[in-house]
Structure 1
Amino acid sequence: MTRTWLHLPALAWAFLIAISTLRAASAPDVIVAADGSGKYTSLQDAISAAPMRTGRNDPRWVIFVKRGTYRERIYVQRERGNILVRGEDAATTIITYDQHANLPGPDGKPIATYRTPTVHIDGDGMIWENITLANSAGPVAQALAVRADGDRLVFRRCRFLGWQDTILVNRGRHYFEDCYIEGHVDFIFGGATAYFSRCHLHCLKDGYITAASTPDGTQHGYVFADCRITGAEGVKAYLGRPWRNFARTIFLRTEMSSVIPPAGWDNWGKSDAERTTFYAEFGSTGPGANPAARVPWTKPLSAADVAALTPQRVLGGADRWDPAKP
């Protein structure tokens, strides 16, 4: 006798329902393909066509981006933030542009850093997966790959390529998981609260990895957990320097190559910042881990402090946001 769905045991029912739900959740609303095989050839066009969904419980609009190089600048307005952009493969699905701070604007003056991003996100609740976000301007000036102004932003298995000022986490709360981030000077900077889990940070030349501008009174700035730091041969790069005097940056259980100098941190020539910053490490490993030689104004962390530095605790806020359930 042929078994039908009506005769399936309870566990089999649960499995089939779960599979059906997963397929429905992952099915894209639109496909972007550079070769014309999708509905759009431009990611910006696909984002601009997304419905106005701003509520936390609104269904998330899913955009699938096929392999290819998309040379375009992306802007996600606040009313369209509730979007998932999923690339086919992070290494070969690339969004790139080359705008930099020294380019002249309409008034003939340099446009400056904030107007350079390849991807600018104003909307809340956006997710990016399996994609490269790059600024290809190179060593000419500040040139953002991403400017993040929205809240509750998630990046998983993404690559961020740039030189100076690769990622501006400007405001809001952001979660990065299993990402690759490269740059030279201050290539992660800004005033947001951001959590980096199992990320690979690669230093292209002598410089600084972070330049936090955490507002005074903010509990958390940047937390890097279980990450890895590498660099080009002979490069030396500090873990951070304070763009603003209340910068907060913490590294937990991070593997550090010899790219990190013994002092670890730099005060940006501001001795007063040594009293107000919160720079700390816990469980660093590798040739660049040298707690005895670190600058004396770094802060200690206890095991209890570290236990509280989970993504949910750091990013939760008043609404108890959990980046694992965005």
Structure 2
Amino acid sequence: MKILYCRVGWMESYKGSATEGPQAGGKYNQENIGYEVYNYLGYEGEYYGFVEPGVNNTIHVERLCGDKKAELAEDVLIIWVAKKSSGGQYIVGWYRNAMVYRTLQDVPIEAMSIRKSKKHNVYNIYSKNVYLLGLNDRKFLIKGMGHSNIWYGNSEIDCQVLEYIQDYEKQYNNRIGKLEEKLSDITGGEREAIVKIRINQDKFRDSLIKKYNGKCCLCGVDYLSMLVASHIKPWVKSDKYEKLDIENGLLLCPNHDKLFDSGLISFDSKGKIMISSKLDKNNQIFLNVNNDYEIKMTDENASYIKYHRDNIFVE
């Protein structure tokens, strides 16, 4: 298997946060350029990653594919590495089956539409199969990479890394599998309802409870056993990474969860509630829908909210 180690700045989400810039990662990040800030902001399941290539903005793809004239190498395992503030370079995530380009490419217009910063418009690594580790899971120390942003590894470290990520992916896929194992004969609304019930016992819900301090993020209801871990972009439409991405979730009371899933409410780009014309004034009162309601929007969840607004919301 072809492996490429790519050193980037240290971030939590790599989704273009306005409150978090990349730390370390090379001299170019001293000016907070950090094109890798969008490495995990996918568009329709496609991810456009960046690593600072160095001299002439070129990656020597011939070392991956054996062809000196090639402009890209395919089916590469990308290991994203970043330096902790406390020292040491650790794996923060990876792209499987990636394409690595010799030179910088322009991010497609469609993918740029969800990027707040329009200057971050180039990439050199592409994949549909991505994994990002949470802060507490970034424990694999990479030794031997030195100060280079690109490293081609060696057999000893490659074997250790492959064993590590295979174990991680097995556990990750098992979690998703358990959520789906009883759904093979169920379709439509029933399927989504059962997924949601099962997610309520999953780490996904626990993370949302922590994020929103155990309260409905819209109305503040804090009856914990009644709160629902609601996917913004529906489970059945999400790729493997998005299914368990905490930024693809809202913690909602049952009323607001059902309204949100049905597209009767959504949120604008600032987090202010949008109410469907299908929901009359009386039902707005009965269902506790208030024109003043809003949620806290972040750069990390903005693309998911936009998806819901464009594809689920009923005007």
Normalised-by-shorter TM-score class: under 0.3
Answer 1 or 2: which has greater helix percent: 2
Q: Which has the higher contact order (CA 8 A, sep 6+)?
A: 2
* Superposition TM-score, scaled by structure 2 size: 0.24
Q: TM-score, normalised by structure 1?
A: 0.23
